[in-house]
Structure formats: structure tokens, C-alpha cells
Amino acid sequence: MLDIKFVKENKELVKENLKKKFQEEKLPLVDEVSEKYTKKTTLQQQIDDLRKERNQTSSEIGTLLKNGKKEEAEQKKERVVEINNTLTKLEQEKEELETKIKEIMMIIPQMIDDSVPIGKDDSENVEIEKFGEPIVPDYEIPYHADICEALNGLDKESAGRTSGNGFYYLMGDIARLHSAMLSYARDFMIDKGFTYCIPPFMIRSDVVTGVMSFAEMDAMMYKIEDEDLYLIGTSEHSMIGKFKDQIVKEEELPITLTSYSPCFRKEVGAHGIEERGLYRVHQFEKQEMVVLCKPEEAMEWYHKMWKFTVDFFRSLDVPVRTLECCSGDLADLKVKSCDVEAWSPRQQKYFEVGSCSTLGDAQARRLSIRAKGENGNYLVATLNNTVLATPRGLIAVIENNYEKDGSIKIPKALRPYMGGKEKIGVK
């Protein structure tokens, strides 16, 4: 969410940003919101002038009554009543304008960074760098769901009876490997100096609209019936919401947090073969990292954060690459974003396992998160990044450590979390 004053003073820049994001349908909103803001400012001045006149007139009434000038005092009283009636109308008009201005500002996207490549959708995202050699073994790697089922580690049929499509039971050593990855991800980030946190898994609507766009909210969130509560789609939602309406001390910045949570997403639409696997599911678990920092330090933290995810997957023997998100693929609150993608030796291509984003002051403005500095209060910058989202991360580990005999080699980093086990074998 941009500052309305910035929009009014930089209308052409904001319009150019909309064009870069291929949202030309929103161009008229820039002029509309500027006009409404000017009208609101004029109304505010009229309201201030009338309040000043009312205070002065009220003071004069007392003086006139003391001097026995009752008739003049009555005339002044009539003027006060007239002012009050006018104020009621003007304040209602101002309130309606403020509501409309906020509605418009909530759908005008954040200014993207100059380094963001211009493109319409994710098909035009740009590869940045590869880490690790993408290997294709000389034996066939089955579909991940079939690997898990062969190891008695997956039961989607039962989950279909209890919960429907998009849910699953993980069993035995596969379930244990899943949990081992999350525990390792937690400790990995603690070792990087991040504070571990388990947040609420449900949040109120004012937090939801503070951390994401309306389009994302409709596409992702599950609402609790008859409650002002939503199931979180990522722990970032709760973690940023933790600081709603707060003023943090500048010396406490940067605030670096790593959080665990289950996540719930609608994932609307059919996805072919992935529908019966674990790639797109309604429920998964995630280790996230969230940073609140000074605005001028945001880009430095952005690059640190995505590198943490790369290092995490490389420590699990998974080749990865980074992909720069183009302008049309950026959510409206994001300034810059990149995906970390893992190599799939079965498909012989990369697939997304994490996403890192800097949102500038967009979330902080919506949620009123400020820092207290020497020169006054200012909005902080917020960033988020996936350490591990699993079972998608689990797929990457399974495929890249699948052996010819149908077993899965457990990466060395995970063995302490698996009781020293080195391999998951076919029973």
C-alpha cells in the first residue's frame, strides 16, 4: 500500500508502475484517488475553519450573556446550531471519501524495484543462478507418490474418505523424514541467529488484509464460519500481524524470526498428475523466516534470506536454482521477489520449493508498524522467505536421494533427527 501523498505527487510514476505490472485497467484509479484526496483535504480545511468559528462564537455567547445582551447571544446560539448541522454533513462526506480512498489505495500495487524484469506472468520469470549439478540417474525414478506408497509411507485413499481431495496421511519412516526436515529447518535458522516462534494458526480479517492483497486472500484463505477468523496460508501472516499497531525501538532492528506452522490453502483448480500426489495440497507444514528492518537495509536482507534457502537445500543434496519473478508475477504488495526451485530428476526440470520477497513498507503501512528513531517514527520494511514448505520439500529430497533398489538415502544432515538411520528401505 502506497502513501496517498506519494501517489498524488507522482501520478505518472504510479501509472508507469501499473503498466509494468500489466494492470492498465487500474490506471483511472490514480487520477480518481488523487481527486478524492484533494476534495478530502478541502473538506478538512472547511471543517477546521467551522470548528474554530464555533469555538470563538461559543466564547462570545458567554461574554454577551454576562453583559446582558441576550438577543445577540441568541443569534450567536443559532449560528452555533447552524455550524453543528453543517459540520455533521461535512464530516459524513469526509468519512465516505476516506473509505473510498482506502478502498482504492488497497488495490493500487506497491512500486516494484527497478531491477525487476518486465513480463506478463510466471512464464517470463528469469533464471538467476544454479547451485549443484542436476543429475539424472541411469535408472527410472517413479512418481513420488508411488515411491512413498511402496515404502508404506503415504495413504491418500483414507484421507479422501476423511477429508476429500488434497489431503493425505504420511506414515512410518516417510512421516518421520517429513518431521526430521522440519526440525532440521528450525535448527538451521536458529543457527543463523533467528528467533524461533510458533504463532497462532488463525488470524482476524484486519490482519489478513494487512499482509496480503484481496486477490490473494480470495484465492488462498479458508474462513471460519460465523467467526472473524481465517486459517493461515503461511506463518508470515501471523508473524507480521504480531507487530500490528506497534512502535518498535530502532535499536531492536533488525527483528529476525523463524516460525513453524501448519498452512491451509484452497489451491483451486485441477493439476493433472500432481492432483493425486503431494505437490499441491490443502494442508502442509512450513518453516518460514520473517525480517523487520530499516528501509535502507531491506535489499541487503533480501539477498541474505534467499541464500539461506539455497544453503538449506544444498545441505540436503538437492540441486536448486533461483528464479527472478517478473513484474506481472509479483503480488501487489511485493517490491521484488525470487523463487528457489529444486531439481526433479524424474521430470528433469526444476519446481518451486520456496519464495523470498521484500515488501518495502506496504505491510507496515497497512498494519501501522513503525520504528522510533532519532528523527521521529517511520514505517519499517518487512520481508519473508520460505526455509522449507513440505511435503513439497519432501518430494525434492525423496527424488534426489532415490536409490536403484527403491530405497531412499537419508541426507547426512537429517540422520541425527532420524535416530541415526541412513536409509529408508522397501519392506
Task: Write the CATH number for 418.
Answer: 3.30.930.10
* Whole-number average pLDDT of the chain: 93
Query: Are residues 248 and 318 both part of a single domain?
Result: yes
Closest CA to 216 of 233, 204, 240: 233
| Same domain? 264 vs 201 | yes
Structural domain contains residue 115: no
Look at 219-228, 299-308, 327-336, 394-403 and tell me which has the smallest mean pLDDT.
Answer: 219-228
What whole-number distance in Å separates Cα of residue 40 and Cα of residue 188? 51
With beta carbons less than 8 A apart as the criterion, state whether 295 and 359 touch. Answer: no
Domain boundary residue, one of 77, 105, 133? 105
In a domain, 113, yes or no: no
Q: Identity (one letter) of the amino acid at 409?
A: K
Predicted confidence at residue 280, as pLDDT, reads 85
284 shares its domain with 354 = yes
Distance CA 171, CA 396 (A): 18
**Residue spans of alpha helices (H) in 244-402:** 298-314, 362-367, 392-400
Judge if 151 and 25 occupy the same domain: no
With respect to residue 117, please indicate whether it lies within any of the assigned structural domains: no
Q: Are residues 85 and 227 in the same domain?
A: no
Is residue 28 domain-shared with residue 129, that is, in the same domain?
A: no
C-alpha cell at 135: 543429475
Query: What's this model's pTM, rounded to 2 decimal places?
Result: 0.89
Phi, psi of 409 (to 5 degrees): -75, 130
Q: Which residue among 105, 130, 153 closes a domain?
A: 105
Quick one: how far is CA 414 from the chain centroid? 29
**202 and 241 part of one domain:** yes
pLDDT category at 87 given cuts 50, 70, 90 is: very high
The whole-number pLDDT of residue 403 equals 95
- Decide: 382 and 366 in contact? Cβ < 8 Å: no
Backbone angles phi, psi at 113, to 5 degrees: -70, 150
Q: Are 160 and 368 in contact (CB under 8 A)?
A: no
* Percent above pLDDT 90 for the chain: 83
Confidence of residue 216 (pLDDT cuts 50, 70, 90): confident
pLDDT confidence of residue 58: 86
> Binning pLDDT at 50, 70 and 90, where does residue 262 land?
very high
- State the CATH number of the domain containing residue 99: 1.10.287.40
Please check whether residues 88 and 146 belong to one and the same domain.
Answer: no
Look at residue 180 and tell me if it is in a domain: yes
Cβ–Cβ < 8 Å for 311, 282: no
Cα distances (angstroms) measured from residue 313 to each of 141, 278, 287: 20, 18, 13
Confidence tier at 218 by pLDDT (50, 70, 90): confident
Question: Is 242:204 a contact under the CB 8 Å cutoff?
Answer: no
Tell me if 317 is assigned to some domain: yes
Decide if pLDDT at 155 tops 80: yes
How many Å is the Cα radius of gyration of the chain?
A: 28
Of 19-33, 276-290, 316-330, least confident by mean pLDDT is 276-290
For residues 92 and 129, membership in a common domain is answered with: no
Report residue 59's pLDDT band, with 50, 70 and 90 as the boundaries: confident
**Res 276: pLDDT:** 67
Q: Are 279 and 395 within 8 A, CB to CB?
A: yes
- Which residue, among 308, 318, 286, 307, has the nearest Cα to 395 in the 3D structure? 318
Residue 67 has pLDDT above 90, yes or no: no
112-142 confidence digits (pLDDT tens): 999 999 999 999 999 999 999 999 999 999 9
Query: Does residue 128 lie within any of the structural domains?
Result: yes
Tell me what pLDDT residue 171 has: 96
Domain match, 242 and 338 both:
yes
Confidence of residue 47 (pLDDT cuts 50, 70, 90): very high
At position 420, the amino acid (one-letter code) is G
CA proximity to 234, closest of 385, 367, 28, 345: 385
Interatomic CA distance for residues 394 and 277, integer angstroms: 12
Place 60 in a pLDDT band, splitting at 50, 70 and 90: confident
Q: What are phi and psi of 420, to 5 degrees?
A: 85, -5
Query: How many CB atoms are closer than 10 A to CB 165?
Result: 13
Of 55, 80, 105, the one marking the end of a domain is: 105
User: 262-266, 316-320, 364-368 — which is least confidently predicted?
Assistant: 262-266
Claim to verify: residue 131 and residue 92 sit in the same structural domain: no
CA distances from residue 44 to 50, 95, 97, 179 in whole angstroms, order as listed = 10, 10, 11, 57
- Which residue, 390, 383, 381, 341, is CA-closest to 361? 381
DSSP E strands: which ranges in 66-168? 126-131, 154-155
Enclosing domain of residue 293: 122-424
Instruction: pLDDT band for 50, please (50, 70, 90 cuts).
Output: very high
Is 29 part of any domain? yes
Identify whether residues 95 and 149 lie together within a single domain: no
| Residues 263-277 pLDDT 10s | 999 876 545 545 568
pLDDT of residue 18: 97
Model confidence at 24, in pLDDT bands (50, 70, 90)? Answer: very high
Number of structural domains the chain divides into: 2
pLDDT at 274: 53
Burial of 200 (0-12, 13-18, 19+ CB in 10 A): middle
